[in-house]
Amino acid sequence: MEEKIIKTEYSEVMQKSYIDYAMSVIIARALPDARDGLKPVQRRVLYDMHELGIKYDKPYRKSARIVGDTMGKYHPHGDSSIYEALVVMTQEFKKGLPLVDGHGNFGNIEGDGAAAMRYTEARLQRITQEAFLSDLDKDVVDFFPNFDETEKEPTVLPAKFPNLLVNGSEGIAVGMATSIPPHNLGEVVDAVKAFMLDETITTEGLMKYIKGPDFPTGGIVTNKDELKEIYETGTGKIKVRGKVDIEKGKAGKTNVVISEIPYPMIGANISKFLMDVAALSESKKTQDIVDISNQSSKEGIRIVIELRKDADVDNFVNMLYKKTRLEDTFGVNMLAIADGRPEIMSLKQIIKHNVDFQFQVATRKYTTLLAKEREKKEIQEGLIKACNVIDLIIEILRGSKDRAMAKACLVEGKVEGIKFRSKESKIMAAQLRFTDKQANAILEMRLYKLIGLELEALINEHEETMANIYRYEDILDRRASMAQV
C-alpha cells in the first residue's frame, strides 16, 4: 500500500482534538441533563439496578455487583467513578432526596469515606423506581447502543419532577463547572404546577413557592434579597450561616450549640472548623472558650462550645461568623445540558425544560397505551363476533384441512376445499371478514371462553377498553387533559 502523508498545521490539529475532548467530557461525563437532572454515570447506575431487579421491596445486593455490571454494560470508565456516584446517591447529607437506599457504611457528614464496595449493599429507593424508571417499558424515551453495541441504554430517564432542582448538582468539566443547590421537593412541585397553569409567570412568582435553596445540612441564608437575581441569571453567591442555639451549661456557664452547618462545611471542613475555633483561643483572639466538643451523631449535628460565665455570647457568635466557616458561601452556577449543549439556565428555564419534557414523555406514553388498547379492542370485537356465530366457526374448523385454510375462510371468505354441512353454512362462511389479528385470536381461543360468564367478562373488558381509548384520545388531543395527568 502506498504511503500517504497529509500535511497540516499542528496547532489546528491540537485545537480540534482538544475541543472534541472537551465536548466529550462536558456532554458525556461531568454535566447533568436538564431533563432528568442526572449525569450519565448516575443514569447508568440507576438503569442497571432497574435491569437487575434491585427494587425497593427486594433484598439489598452487593454494591460490587452493581458497579461491575454497570461498568461491563454501560460505563467502561473504571469502577471508582461508578461507586462514587452510587455512594453520593445514598447520602442524605448531600442529596435532598437520596435516589439509592444504602445498607452499610456509606460515609458520614464529617468526611469519613464509604466502606469498600465489597462490604456495602444497595437497592433503589421507592421514589426512584416510581418517578424515574416506571414508564421505560412504554417507549417514553429513546434508547441508544452502549459502547460495544451489545446492549441498549436510555438517553434520559423519564423523571416526573425537576430532579436538577431537587437534588442539585456539582461537577467540573473542561473550561466550565456546574454548581446547583438542592431544593425542597414539595416547593418545586408547587412551582411546576404554577408554571403549568401560567407559563408567563415571573421568577418572583415562582419564588412564592420556592423560597430558596433547601440544603440537607440546614443553615440560614443571609442574603435572601439577592436570591431573585441568582434565580433569574443562574449565577451568583448564596451566603449560608450555621444555626446557633444558646443553652445553659454547668455551674452557670453558657453553651453555644451549633445544630445546623453551612452546606459547604460537609466533610473535612467540620474538623477544620473545630481547629479554627481552637485557634481563636490559642491566638488569644478570645479568652471565653472553656471547652469544645463534637457531639454529632446519626440524629444530626451537635457541636458544643462551652463559654465562661461572664462571656459576651453575641460578640463571640459574631466572631465565629467572621473568623471561621460557620458562615460560608455557596457559589451558584446553574449549568446543565439542554438540547444537547451546555447552557446556564434561570430557575424558570429549568422548570420549563422539565415541563416540556413531561409533555413529550406523556405524549409518547399515551400514544403507546392507545395503540395497545386499540389492538385489544380489535381482538375483543373479533372474539365477541365469533361467539355469536360459534357454530359456524366450529363447522369451518372441522371441515378445513389445515390452519391456513381455516384462516383464509375467516379473513377472506374463501370456502373452497372446506366441507360444510349445508349450503346455508357455506354462504354465511363466504361472507366472513375477520381481520388477520382477529382470525389468529379465534384460532387460538380455548373452549372454556364459550362459558356464559367468560363471555360476559369479555364484553365487560371490551367496555373498559373503549373507556380507556376515549380517555387516552382525550389526553392526547387536549393539552389541558394532559396537564391534569
Give the span between the Cα atoms of 44 and 381, in whole angstroms: 43
Task: pLDDT tens for the chain, 485 residues: list them.
Answer: 578 888 888 888 888 887 877 777 777 778 999 999 999 999 999 999 999 999 999 999 999 999 999 999 999 988 999 999 999 999 999 998 999 999 999 998 988 899 999 999 999 999 999 999 999 999 999 999 999 999 999 999 999 999 999 999 998 888 888 999 999 999 999 999 999 999 999 999 999 999 999 999 999 999 999 999 999 999 999 999 999 999 888 878 889 999 999 999 988 788 889 999 999 888 888 888 889 998 888 788 999 999 988 888 999 999 999 999 999 999 999 999 999 889 999 999 999 999 999 999 999 999 999 999 999 999 999 988 888 888 898 888 888 889 999 999 999 988 888 888 888 888 898 999 999 999 999 898 887 776 776 788 888 999 999 999 999 999 999 999 999 88
Asked about 119 being catalytic, the answer comes back as: yes
Asked if 258 and 273 touch (Cβ cutoff 8 Å), the reply is no
CA distances for 194 relative to 116, 133, 202, 209, angstroms: 44, 25, 10, 9
Write out the three cell numbers for 368: 403507546
Asked if 156 and 43 touch (Cβ cutoff 8 Å), the reply is yes
Among 47, 115, 126, smallest CA distance to 83 is for 115
Among residues 18, 21, 119, 470, the one annotated as catalytic is 119
The position carrying cell 458561601 is 329
Asked if 78 and 71 touch (Cβ cutoff 8 Å), the reply is yes
Among 257, 319, 328, 312, smallest CA distance to 285 is for 319
Mapped onto helix, strand or coil, the DSSP state of residue 55 is: coil
